[in-house]
Structures are given as structure tokens and as C-alpha cells.
Structure 1
Amino acid sequence: MKFAFSTLGVPGLSVPDVLRLAVEHGYHGVELRAHPEEPVHTGLGLVERADVAAAFKAAGVEILGVAGYARVAEPGEDGPVIDEVNSLVSLARDLGAPFVRVFPGGGTEQSAADADATAARRLGTLARSAADAGVRILVETHDSHRTGADVTRVLGTVGHRQVGALWDVMHTWLGDESPVDTFAALSPYLGYVQVKDIASADDKTPLALGTGALPLAECLEVLSAEGWDGWLCWEYEKRWYEDAAPLPGLLEPGREYLSRLLSRSG
């Protein structure tokens, strides 16, 4: 498996500094948080996008994906959501990134069936532009669709290769879904896996990998047993928890921890 980390853990850090961290600590790739407060976002011009792609290529580090904030199941008109996702797809294409992350965002003001239908309709529309761009749109296990079973209801309806799933191990755990069940649901659609650690369901402050409550060993055991050989991306949510320890000092121990788990899993 390949290891990446999200720039959510080092908010606002320049591209050269992100690349330095990746190279120094042995990470194969980086997930770029696409937000105006970050160096890489949908407002970048073509020259700037080309410069970012060239910098990653020169460093030998892959851009795993563009982590956007579009909510494909949220109530309202389809147009703004489709435009937002298409802008993320275009950014990923220009950067040479294979994936775009979106959220479900179904909310509480509609039924689960209506949220599923909304997300499936929009993603079905978006699948063609994603295919043309050579980018996969991944729905993260998150908020209204926290478990693999939740996300699979949508993806099974869409039925297009360019629309898949991102497994966030915290949210499936919070949804009381076992790693075995999550993988069984998402395996036909799985793009990559976000790993992290927290103290408890009531305290989601990010912790060093292996020091919290999340079943990381079980997750990696399932992935290894099933022969899955994709990306593990550490999403350390420093942006939302200012008192959390700085990520740079945790990167190498985190990679070593994941490597040990994979070795034990065979």
C-alpha cells in the first residue's frame, strides 16, 4: 500500500513545505485540501496549476486527490452543486490527481430516500465529465451517509466506474459498522482509505496513529486479507483543533506505525 497525508493537518502550508514534509518522512503522496484559504484551490489559474503539478512531479510525490467540500445529497437546486463538483474535477485533471472527494451532506430536513435519490441523480450527471477528465469522484463516508452501507445505496444506483467511495475509518466506526462490513459494502467502489485516530466518540481531537480508540489494526487486517493494495491517507484534522499536536513531528512515527500493522497482517 502507499501512504499519503492530507494538507488538512498542516493548514495554509506552502506547496514546497508540504513536499518537503512528504519527502523527509517517506510519504508517497498528498491529499490536497481544496479551499480558498489553502495554496491550492479551484480559483488557481492554468499557469499556477501547471506549476503545482510540476513541483510535485519534480519531488517524486503524487497528488492523491483534491478534497473538496461539495455536498452531493444536500437539498436544493442541482446546478450549483454540479458546477462546484465540476470545478473540482477540472482542478484534479489539471493537477494530474486521480480523485476528487465530495461529502454526502444530506442533512435532516429530507428523508434518507430523498437524499439518496438527490445524490445519485447529481453523481450520474457528473459521471460523464469525470470520465472525460480521467478523474474519479469519491463520496466519503461522512455526515448523512456515515457507513459503507449508506454510501453503497447511492453508488449502486449510479452504477458508473467514475463514481466511487472514500472510506473514512472514523465515521464508519461512529456509525457502528465493523471494518469487515464496511469493506464488504465498499470494495466494488473503493478509491482510497482515510486513516486517523481519536480518543473517543465524544472527543474527536486528532491523536497520533495508534494512540486512540479507532480500530486501525482491524481495518488494515481486513484490507490486507482481501488483497487490497491502494492508498492509505492520514487525515489529521489539525485545522479544526488548534490545540492538537503539530502534525510534522508525528508523520514519521505514523508511517512507521502503519507499516508495522501491514507487516503483522501479512
Structure 2
Amino acid sequence: MKLAVSTLGMPGEGLESAIAVAAAGGCQGLELRLHPDTGVHAGLPPADRAAAREKIADAGLSIAALAGYVGICDPAPADDTVVGDLLADLRLAADLGAPGVRVFPRGDDPAVGARRLRAVADTAATLGVRVFVETHDKMPTGAAVAALLSATGRPDAAVALWDLLHPWRHGEPLDETLGALAPYLAYVQVKDAVSATDTTPVPLWSGAVPLDAAGELLRAHGYDGWVSLEWERTWYPQVAPVQDVLPGAADWVRRFSAPAAA
């Protein structure tokens, strides 16, 4: 596995600071939250895109993903709006050298999301990037996201992001989550929280998320992709700085990257 850290955990800090935190924390990559506050977003001019890509590469880091906010199944916006916003994010990913863009479901109808994902699939494939659909909000389980991706039918362009918190807190057993996502799994976000009902972030192994069981399943599955620490300090400003939590994430990646025992 390769460790990244999300800039969601560094509110108010610029790209240079995020690079320094990632490098000092033993990360191989950065997950860049797309927002004007972070300095990385679809409105970034070409010269600034090239500069950001160069700064990250010069630090020996890769961009693990762009964390976008498109709601792929959201019934409110028109298809053209959702597709246009996602295409802009995908082009940004290609310019930055990122492998893809995270999206949220925001709705619960897989037919809506599948239609929109198919609309961007050819462009995504041409650009060499993918859409990472997160287990979140109205599709929090592996089963729900797998149903969406199955309906889309474009594994070259649309894949799964397993946020370890949400399927678990909605009662889906870990083995069922992985079983559903396995054909599509391309990204993992690791975190811990107080409980299934109190999602306040806490350092890894100090909360209730079954991190060891999830890690063992991923190791047995042979997962060797990105694992991003999504420390949600942007939403919970009272929690510790991400630098205090990164050692636990690095430890988790080390523990579960080894091949499973025969």
C-alpha cells in the first residue's frame, strides 16, 4: 500500500505546508481537496496547475487523488451541470498528474449516477484518469456503490473508494463491503471515530472503527493501492493537528501491506 494524507486535515494551510506535512510524515502522496481555500480547484489557470504539479513532484510526492464534491447521483442538478462539473475536475486531474477524482453519491438512484458516469467515461479514459465513487451519504455501503458501478459498466473509468468508516457505521460487515467492492476497489480512506453514531475523528486505534479487521481483509485481498488518511479537521476544528495522527496511519499501512500468510 501507498500512504497519502488528505488536505482536508489541514484547513487554512497552503500547498507548500501540505507538502511539508506529507513529506515529514512518511507519505508517498497527497490527496488534494478541491476548494478555493486549498488553492487547488477546477478554476486554476494552466500555469498554476503546472506549478502545483512541479512543487509536489519536486518533493518526491505523487497526487493520490483529487477530492472533489460532485454528487454523481444528486437528483437536483441537471445532468449537464453534473457532467460539466465532473469533466472540469477530471481535466484538472489530468493536468496535475492525478489518477482520478473522488465524487460523492448524494442521491440513492444508481440509474442517475450510472447515466452521468457513462457520459464522462470516454473522456476520462482518453485523459487516463478515473472517477472514484466514495462509500458515503446516501450510498454508504459497499453493496450500494457496487450496484452503481455495475450499472455504469465502465470499470476503466469509474471505480470504488472505500471509506472505512461509513459502511461499518451503517451496519455492513467488513467482509461484505470488501466482497461487493472487490471488482472495483481502487482507493481506501482510513480513519477512526468515537463510535458508529459519533463520527468525531480520533487517532487511529483509539476509537471504534475495526481497523485491524479491515486491514487484515485488505492484506488478504492483496490490495496494494493508495491509502489516504482523511483526518477531518476542516469539519472538526477542535481535533489535534494531522501531524499528530499521521504516525498511526503510517503504522497501519506498514502492518497491513505485507503479503497475507499462506
TM-score (norm 2): 0.95
Aligned to 1:210: 205
Aligned partners of 2:260, 2:10: CA distance in 1, in Å? Answer: 30
Aligned to 1:90: 91
Secondary structure of the residue aligned to 1:37 is helix
Residue 30 of structure 1 and its aligned partner are, at CA, apart by: 0.8
1:1-266 correspondence runs (5 A): 1-76=1-76, 77-106=78-107, 112=108, 115-160=109-154, 161-262=156-257
Q: Confirm or deny: 8 A CA contact 2:133 2:159 kept in the other structure.
A: yes
Aligned partners of 1:105, 1:64: CA distance in 2, in Å? Answer: 23
Residue 265 of structure 1 and its aligned partner are, at CA, apart by: 5.7
Residue 158 of structure 1 and its aligned partner are, at CA, apart by: 0.9
Secondary structure of the residue aligned to 1:199 is coil
User: For residues 64-99 of structure 1, what are the alpha-carbon distances to aligned partners after superposition, in whole Å with 9 as ceiling and x for unaligned?
Assistant: 011000001111310110011011101100000001
Residue 175 of structure 1 and its aligned partner are, at CA, apart by: 1.8
Q: Confirm or deny: 8 A CA contact 1:138 1:164 kept in the other structure.
A: yes
Q: Which runs of 5+ in 1 are unaligned?
A: 107-111
Residue 167 of structure 1 and its aligned partner are, at CA, apart by: 0.4
Residue 257 of structure 1 and its aligned partner are, at CA, apart by: 3.9
Q: Confirm or deny: 8 A CA contact 1:104 1:119 kept in the other structure.
A: yes
Residue 177 of structure 1 and its aligned partner are, at CA, apart by: 1.1
What is the identity, as a one-letter code, of the residue corresponding to 2:172? E
Q: Percent identity?
A: 43
Structure 1 residue ranges (4+ consecutive) displaced by more than 4 angstroms after TM superposition: 261-266
Aligned partners of 2:252, 2:221: CA distance in 1, in Å? Answer: 20
Number of matched residues? 259
Aligned partners of 2:49, 2:196: CA distance in 1, in Å? Answer: 38
What is the identity, as a one-letter code, of the residue corresponding to 2:188? V
Secondary structure of the residue aligned to 1:138 is strand
Residue 252 of structure 1 and its aligned partner are, at CA, apart by: 2.3
RMSD: 1.4
What is the identity, as a one-letter code, of the residue corresponding to 2:6? S
Secondary structure of the residue aligned to 1:92 is helix
Q: Which runs of 5+ in 2 are unaligned?
A: none
Aligned partners of 1:50, 1:145: CA distance in 2, in Å? Answer: 35
Q: Confirm or deny: 8 A CA contact 1:13 1:39 kept in the other structure.
A: no
Secondary structure of the residue aligned to 1:143 is coil
Secondary structure of the residue aligned to 1:238 is coil
TM-score (norm 1): 0.94
What is the identity, as a one-letter code, of the residue corresponding to 2:52? V
Residue 172 of structure 1 and its aligned partner are, at CA, apart by: 0.7
Secondary structure of the residue aligned to 1:240 is coil
Secondary structure of the residue aligned to 2:238 is coil
